[in-house]
Amino acid sequence: MRGSRLEIASESNIGRKRSLNEDFHRTLVVSSRMGNLALLAVADGMGGTEAGEWASKLAIEGITEAVRSYAGLIDLGRPVVPLERVMEKAFQLAQRRIRDQSINNPDRKGMGTTLTAILISEWNSRGAIGHIGDSRAYRHSRGKWVQLTQDHSWVAQQVRQGVLSEAEAEAHPWKHMLTQALGLEDIRLDITPFTLSPGEVYVLATDGLYGLVPPEEWELGKDLKATLENWVTKALVRGGNDNITVIAARYR
């Protein structure tokens, strides 16, 4: 595999309140004849008992399989297609697998999951974000954090419409109610292309992190792994009331 331009780290913790970790994540760099493809993905499952754990795992395995398949097609000489198209196909595969499991297994009926992923083609510094639910993607550039995704939740929708303030949304009892998730019958994905620049850092996080340690407190160190461990420790000290998962990638 050719040397990657990405420094990647991840951290996941069950937290202090949950008996299962329903978060699932993946970091993958796969080589192709064009260069490296990198996948970063986080999923936060829901559905009770073990259903949420299954949903998030199915989502991550589905999107991983789609990216590996695309790299294989490139090596066979198939045309390179836009990353947005690859991401859409990957999410559709994950959705089919979750729906099939939910329909055919009564114990997993109604299960679902968020899924937020970044796919990067290192040979042309292009990327695509795929998103559904309320896990988030951020970019750190020129000293500032910018949120790259919009939450698919009831309170976020009310904030965008001017019905609720940010403070009201944070305290609202329905703040965890999702309007979109993999596993629902009709879904709407957000897929966004972007271009990378050297020095940028991309972060994917579930609400177990950003709900307790907001981005304005995210300090970046030279060691990404140690940085993420520090963020997760802060979330645990503040209660750790949910599963906590975070991925970071620095582009060189």
Task: Write out pLDDT tens, residues 26-45.
Answer: 999 999 999 999 999 999 99
Give the burial class of 216: count Cβ atoms within 10 A of its Cβ; 0-12 exposed, 13-18 middle, 19 or more buried. Answer: exposed
Separation between Cα atoms, residue 39 and residue 64, nearest integer Å: 8
This prediction has a pTM of 0.94
Four-point Cα dihedral 47, 52, 55, 59, nearest 10: 120
- The residue type at 83: L
In this prediction, residues 75-100 reach a mean pLDDT of 96
> Long-range contacts for 142-146 (Cβ within 8 Å, ≥24 apart)?
145/203, 145/215, 145/216, 145/218
How many CB atoms neighbour CB 69 within 10 A? 14
In this prediction, residues 101-120 reach a mean pLDDT of 92
* Tokens encoding 235: 């979330």
* The CATH classification of domain 6-139+180-251, taken from the options 3.30.420.10, 3.60.40.10, 1.20.1280.50, 3.40.1050.10: 3.60.40.10
Separation between Cα atoms, residue 222 and residue 77, nearest integer Å: 39
Judged against a pLDDT cut of 60, whether residue 74 lies above it is answered with yes
Q: CA-based Rg of the chain, rounded to a whole angstrom?
A: 18
Q: What is the pLDDT of residues 152-210, one digit of tens each?
A: 998 888 988 988 887 777 778 787 789 999 999 999 999 999 999 999 999 999 999 99
What backbone torsions phi and psi does residue 63 show, to the nearest 5 degrees? -70, -35
Bridge partners of 30, per DSSP, are 37
Asked if residues 119 and 137 have their Cβ atoms less than 8 Å apart, the reply is no
* Tokens encoding 160: 């965008």
Q: How many CA atoms lie within 13 A of 151 on its CB side?
A: 23
Spatial CB neighbours of 175, under 8 Å, sequence gap ≥ 6: 153, 155, 169
Helix axes 83-104, 51-75, angle to 10 degrees: 140
Judged against a pLDDT cut of 70, whether residue 83 lies above it is answered with yes
Bridge partners of 31, per DSSP, are 36
**3-state SS assignment for residue 67:** helix
